[in-house]
Amino acid sequence: MEREGQFVGQSGAFLDAVERTSRAAPMHRPVLVIGERGTGKELIAERLHRLSTRWGEPLVTVNCAALPETLIEAELFGHEAGAFTGATKARVGRFEEADKGTLFLDELGTLSMGAQERLLRAVEYGEVTRIGSSRPIRVDVRIVGATNEDLPARATAGTFRADLLDRLSFEVITLPPLRVREGDIAVLADYFGRRMAAELRWEAWPGYAPHVQRELEEYRWPGNVRELRNVVERAIYRWDNWEEPVGHVQFDPFSSPWKPMATPKSGDNGTAAPALAPAPEPTHESVHDLRAAVEAYERRILAHHLGANRWNQRQTAKALSLSYDQLRHCIKKHGLTEG
């Protein structure tokens, strides 16, 4: 695999998905890849192609969500000159481009019902017909579809064709979200961190401070591996001190005390909705020692701000509205050291 297409992880759930991918690769059958955003669905599609007998033929990717509904059929199946306004010359569709190879349909669930019907014929009979033509064209294409939607539920609701789902689901590979991949957060953070340090030409890789490692493990990662990579690379390039462990990480790049307020829309009586929905109230049923829980929370806050201010204790005290002596007392109380 290429540098950008490497699989990194050691958890059982992740390795099971990779193994299933490897087994399905030689089969000339459609595969559905299901997973949350950022879990690596495109990497799975690439692995299916590279490990198949079609590896020397084209791997064509179509992001179905990025195309307007009026153009998706022309993009997939092509069109003849004059088929519609603006079609000044004939155009080959993605199916024809992928002949003898693999067609990866990302965001498959966004296809219109009309496009689904034509896709069904292409899957079932191996034929496509350009818009504006009556002559079908034979194609030999393996289809890999990806989505983060519940397609069986969509089929039951009538918004996705059940017969198309039947034909595409010879094999279904469901990718685990990062939050359930035990041990993989640390492995991936180290991998992306080392790679970014090498890009910045650091002389050595210092690793992460303990409180940063803990923050990375405790975060829920709604954007999965893609989000982890962005967070880690941003932290490394901002740290610019290869001699000390990375002591600060920012999960939300938009977080700022100067963040602009939402602009009211016309007709809402001047009341603007918040830019982000408020976080849900935490549950505390698992807390059985209030003092210990409060102490642990205080320690995490202190470690975070010390890292953010590069252990400049006067700046940290100011950020936390503490006196310098109060901050020194807290550092000693929690046994925090700059290392």
Q: 100-125: per-residue pLDDT in tens?
A: 999 999 999 999 898 899 899 899 99
- In the DSSP assignment, the letter for residue 126 is S
Asked whether 207 and 196 are in contact (CB, 8 A), the reply is no
Query: Nearest Cα to 130, choosing from 104, 94, 88?
Result: 94
Distance in Å from the first CA to the final CA of the chain: 37
Asked whether 46 and 88 are in contact (CB, 8 A), the reply is no
Average pLDDT, the chain: 87
Tell me the CB-side half-sphere exposure of residue 213, using CA atoms within 13 A.
11
- Mean pLDDT computed over 58-86: 86
Question: How do beta strands 137-138 and 59-63 pair?
Answer: unpaired
Asked whether 32 and 172 are in contact (CB, 8 A), the reply is yes
Q: Tell whether domain 179-256+290-334 is in CATH 1.10.8.60.
A: yes
**Neighbouring residues of 67: CB distance < 8 A, sequence distance ≥ 6:** 75
| Residue with the two structure tokens 């941003």 | 234
pLDDT band at 280 (very low <50, low <70, confident <90, very high): very low
| Residue with the two structure tokens 């016309």 | 266
pLDDT in the model for residue 62: 95
**Neighbouring residues of 83: CB distance < 8 A, sequence distance ≥ 6:** 74, 130, 131, 132, 133
Please write the tens of the pLDDT for every residue from 204-261: 999 999 999 999 999 999 999 999 999 999 999 999 889 999 999 999 998 876 778 7
pLDDT in the model for residue 312: 83
pLDDT at 313 over 60: yes
| Domain parsing of the chain, residue ranges | 3-176, 179-256+290-334
How far is it, in rounded angstroms, from Cα 327 to Cα 316? 8
Domain 3-176: top CATH class: alpha beta
Strand ranges for the chain from DSSP E? 31-34, 59-63, 102-106, 127-128, 137-138, 142-147, 171-174
Chain Cα centroid distance, residue 72 = 23
